[in-house]
Structure formats: C-alpha cells, structure tokens
C-alpha cells in the first residue's frame, strides 16, 4: 500500500525575521504523489526525494524488537528543522510512504521497488527511510530495474551480514541472500561489501555463506579512525569494481551510546565519524545511485539520538551529493 505524505509530516522552527537566509528544510520541502505521473525535472535541477518504508514485519519474523515501522516519521521529524544550505537549483521532495499491510512483506517490497524505479527513471535521487532492513530487498528491486546494464555494487554499513536462509520465509535477516540468489539466476555477479560486522552477532553458517558468496567484509574492530587510510583504500578498491553503488546504512552498526533506538542494539559498534568519512568517499566517487537508512526503532530511542544520528548522516550526504 502506498500513501502520499502531507505537510503535517514536516514541521519545525521558523525564523521569520531572517527571511530566506533563515529557511529550514520543512519550509522548502515539496510533496510528490507517486501514483500520478511525475513531472519532468528541469535540466538544471537536482532533486532529492525521500520515501518512507513503514514496515517492521521482517524484524518481527526475525525475532527482533518491533517498532521500526515508525522510523520514517521519526527521521522526518529529526530532519525538519535542518538549516537550509543547499543552492537554489537543489530541490527537496517527500514522495510519501510505502506501507506494509496485513503482514504482507513481499507485497510491500515489490511496491517499494516500483516507487524507487519510478523516481530513478524520472531523474530523482532516492533516499529511502526505513523501516526494518527488509527495506534492502525492496529497494534493490527498484535499483535493479533501472541499472540493468550496469554493475551495481551493494555497500552495507551493518553489524550483520543479513545472509540468512529464506527457505521458510523472508525476514530482515535475508535481503542480501535474496539479492545474491536473484543475481545468480541471471548469471550476474554479486558485489557486496559489508562494513562493521560483529562476530558475536553472526553465526558460523553466516560467515560460511559470506565466504561462499565472495562477500567483502570488515569486522567492527578494524573500523577505527586510526585505520581510516586503510579503510579508504579498501573502499576505493571496491568502488573501482562497480559502475554504481546502492548504499544502505543499518543504524545497528553504531555503538549503543550513539544508537540505542534500533531493532538489535549494539554495545560495541562503530563511531559516526568513521562512517561519515567513508560515506563522503562514496558520494565523491560519483557512483552513488540510491541509499537508505534502516532499523531506526523510535520505541527504544533516548532523546531521539538515534533518529538524529540517521538524519544527520542524510544531511551530510545531501550536502556532498548535490556537488557531484
């Protein structure tokens, strides 16, 4: 099910006395309805489109803490009062929400894929707001549809491989196994790089699956600021192998002090500074196609710090991406 958004989703501080120099995101956010024909973008316009994936059915099936269904609303709230520092030709749009109804995860993923594909086809740069990490499979369906003739690499900042078997049912722990099998069926390579893996959170069968599928990964202990030059070189090697990048950020990759509001809290996770440096590298490669933020669970957040972290990452990506 798809639901267009309303201006009620974007409210925040107004500094009327400062005029245009005091504008904030909520004051310039435009609304898109994806069930209608999208307008053609002017050739000089750069358009970012947020679309929510209101779903945590995959988390429920994966025995996680439900609540990520409210993630998109919390991210919008955290972004609403961001100061506007984007040039006039850069436009911000909210393209509404894909909803998971009657626990029909598969239908919601297919719907998300169609919406992402439509945005990409019309020249928008999609930013998907999760939702559980089952968002990844739906998001990829849209990316795949548009970039069929290109080698798309998947870069996942995550404590987990999410390569579980989906023989019984798909969950938030299966999306990249589903993608791998889908690509295998089309005789295409699976280019998957996962940064932030926690050994304690991934069983031996998952490490074996990663080895079998030739997944590149970096364990959390190695993702440190003093290791940044090495990490950047490793990332450059990965980027050199692909034409485009689908980027997904699972907020459970961060340490609990930064991100308590996630489906699976992580006591020994990453620091935001390291991830932000690597995100900037991806953006400036010119290969970023689409991205999402997943696993924000407002039910367990403290002072909205996890929502603010996810929103902050999106802010910095946009500040860099419009220049590429």
pTM given for the model? 0.97
Residues 50, 94 contacting (CB under 8 angstroms): yes
Distance CA 159, CA 70 (A): 21
CA distances to 141, 223, 261 from 152, rounded to whole Å, are 12, 24, 30
pLDDT in the model for residue 209 = 98
State how many domains the chain has: 1
Residues 31, 5 contacting (CB under 8 angstroms): yes
As given in the structure block, the two tokens for residue 154 are: 């998947």
Question: How open is the CA angle 285-305-67, to the nearest 5 degrees?
Answer: 95
- For 291, the 3-state DSSP assignment is strand
Helices (H), the chain: 25-28, 57-61, 71-79, 105-121, 135-146, 175-185, 204-212, 228-239, 272-284, 305-321
pLDDT in the model for residue 258 = 98
pLDDT in the model for residue 149 = 85
pLDDT in the model for residue 163 = 98
The region, left, alpha or beta by phi > 0 then psi within -120 to 50, assigned to residue 263 is alpha
As given in the structure block, the two tokens for residue 251 are: 């907020």
Distance CA 71, CA 69 (A): 6
Q: Are strands 2-3 and 90-99 parallel, antiparallel or unpaired?
A: antiparallel
Distance CA 255, CA 250 (A): 12
pLDDT in the model for residue 40 = 79
**261: closest CA among 13, 26, 64, 62?**
64
Question: Looking at residue 9, which CATH number applies to its domain?
Answer: 3.40.800.10
Residues 314, 78 contacting (CB under 8 angstroms): no
pLDDT in the model for residue 139 = 98
Q: Find the domain containing 155 and state its range.
A: 2-321
Each residue's pLDDT expressed in tens, for the chain with a length of 324 residues: 999 999 999 999 999 999 999 999 999 999 999 977 888 788 899 999 999 999 999 999 999 999 999 999 999 999 999 999 999 999 999 999 999 999 999 999 999 999 999 999 999 999 999 999 999 999 999 999 888 789 999 999 999 999 999 999 999 999 999 999 999 999 999 999 999 999 999 999 999 999 999 999 999 999 999 999 999 999 999 999 999 999 999 999 999 999 999 999 999 999 999 999 999 999 999 999 999 999 999 999 999 999 999 999 999 999 999 999
**Angle between helix 305-321 and 272-284 (nearest 10):** 30
Sign for the CA dihedral angle at 32, 34, 35, 40 comes to positive
pLDDT in the model for residue 37 = 82
88 Cβ partners below 8 Å, 6+ apart?
none
DSSP class of residue 129 equals E
The pLDDT tens digits for 256-302 are 999 999 999 999 999 999 999 999 999 999 999 999 999 999 999 99
Residue reference for tokens 């548009």: 146
């Amino acid at each position: 099910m798809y639901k267009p958004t309303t201006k009620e989703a974007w409210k925040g501080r107004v500094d009327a006395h400062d005029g245009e120099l005091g504008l904030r995101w909520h004051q310039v956010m435009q609304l898109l309805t994806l069930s209608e024909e999208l307008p053609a973008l002017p050739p000089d316009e750069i358009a970012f489109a947020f679309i929510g994936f209101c779903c945590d059915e995959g988390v429920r099936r994966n025995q996680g803490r439900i609540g990520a269904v409210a993630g998109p609303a919390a991210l919008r709230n955290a972004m609403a009062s961001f100061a506007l520092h984007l040039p006039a030709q850069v436009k911000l749009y909210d393209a509404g929400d894909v909803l998971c109804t009657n626990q029909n995860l598969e239908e919601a993923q297919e719907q998300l894929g169609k919406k992402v594909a439509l945005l990409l086809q019309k020249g928008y740069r999609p930013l998907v707001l999760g939702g559980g990490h089952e968002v990844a499979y739906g998001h990829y369906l849209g990316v795949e549809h548009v970039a069929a003739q290109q080698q798309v690499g998947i870069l996942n900042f995550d404590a987990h491989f999410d390569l579980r078997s989906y023989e019984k049912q798909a969950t938030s722990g299966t999306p990249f196994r589903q993608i791998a099998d889908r690509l295998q069926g089309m005789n295409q390579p699976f280019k998957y790089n996962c940064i932030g893996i926690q050994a304690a959170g991934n069983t031996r069968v998952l490490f074996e699956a990663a080895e079998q599928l030739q997944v590149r990964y970096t364990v959390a202990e190695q993702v440190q600021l003093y290791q940044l030059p090495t990490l950047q070189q490793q990332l450059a090697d990965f980027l050199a192998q692909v034409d485009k990048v689908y980027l997904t950020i699972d907020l459970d990759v961060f340490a609990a002090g930064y991100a308590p509001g996630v489906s699976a809290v992580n006591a020994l996770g990453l620091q935001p500074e390291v991830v932000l440096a690597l995100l900037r590298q991806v953006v400036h490669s010119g290969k970023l196609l689409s991205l999402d933020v997943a696993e924000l669970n407002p039910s367990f957040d403290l002072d909205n710090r996890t929502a603010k972290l996810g929103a902050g990452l999106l802010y910095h990506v946009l500040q860099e991406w419009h220049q590429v």
